[in-house]
């Protein structure tokens, strides 16, 4: 994709993120997304097949960036505990800084059709695998207990972080999400040892 096309693609995703966060997926029209992006309605269809494709692309793009951020900030030298802390910190920081993305990831994923949830699940998969990699490393180096079921635990960790963010949104963001990182990770570590 040329830089101009990439720029327009990103503008549309940014607009979709805002419109869907404010109106919900079902209450958002492609025309409203186009208007927010400052493009003609037909331009949307040069980049996306339909509204569902926009939502799936939004998840793939944003979660892909999140996983990339993890990879850039977590090194092999980090202990499993440090890596888990960084994942939680990056996850909470990103969503606290981008309230629209927080609403889309926390609310819309649960209200989408089964087909959409499956497609979005594929976008989440690398994130879940990264958590599992950290757990396996922690078991191997003795930081975490040997009998840890890493496949189940990766889901529990992801689900717990997800619930902390959802509770923060429902509360009206009355407190700092990032202030929850230390206690969340402490909870994880106590269960992992």
User: Mean pLDDT, to the nearest integer, of 98-123?
Assistant: 80
Q: Tell me the per-residue pLDDT of 52-96, one tens digit each, with 9 for 90 and over.
A: 899 889 988 888 888 888 888 888 888 999 999 999 999 999 999
| Predicted confidence (pLDDT) at residue 107 exceeds the cutoff of 80 | no
Long-range contact pairs involving 13-18 (C-beta distance under 8 Å, separation at least 24): 13/54, 13/57, 13/58, 13/61, 13/62, 16/54, 16/55, 16/58, 17/58, 17/62, 17/98, 17/100, 17/101, 17/104, 18/100
Chain mean pLDDT for the chain: 91
Structural domains of the chain, ranges and CATH numbers in brackets: 1-48 (1.10.10.60), 51-190 (1.10.357.10)
Q: Tell me the per-residue pLDDT of 143-176, one tens digit each, with 9 for 90 and over.
A: 999 999 999 999 999 999 999 999 999 999 999 9
């Amino acid at each position: 994709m040329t830089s101009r096309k990439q720029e327009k693609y990103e503008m549309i995703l940014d607009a979709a993120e805002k419109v869907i966060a404010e109106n919900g997926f079902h209450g958002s029209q492609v025309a409203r997304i186009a208007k927010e992006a400052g493009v003609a309605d037909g331009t949307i269809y040069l980049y996306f097949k339909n509204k569902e494709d926009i939502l799936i692309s939004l998840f793939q793009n944003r979660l892909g960036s999140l996983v990339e951020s993890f990879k850039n900030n977590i090194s092999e030298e980090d202990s499993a505990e440090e890596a888990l802390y960084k994942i939680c910190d990056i996850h909470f920081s990103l969503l606290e800084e981008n309230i629209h993305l927080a609403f889309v990831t926390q609310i819309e994923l649960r209200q989408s059709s089964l087909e959409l949830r499956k497609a979005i699940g594929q976008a989440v998969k690398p994130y879940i695998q990264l958590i599992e990699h950290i757990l396996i490393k922690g078991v191997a180096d003795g930081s975490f207990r040997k009998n840890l079921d890493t496949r189940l635990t990766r889901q529990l960790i992801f689900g717990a972080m997800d619930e902390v963010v959802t509770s923060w949104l429902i509360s009206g963001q009355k407190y700092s999400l990032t202030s929850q990182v230390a206690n969340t990770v402490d909870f994880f570590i106590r269960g992992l040892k």
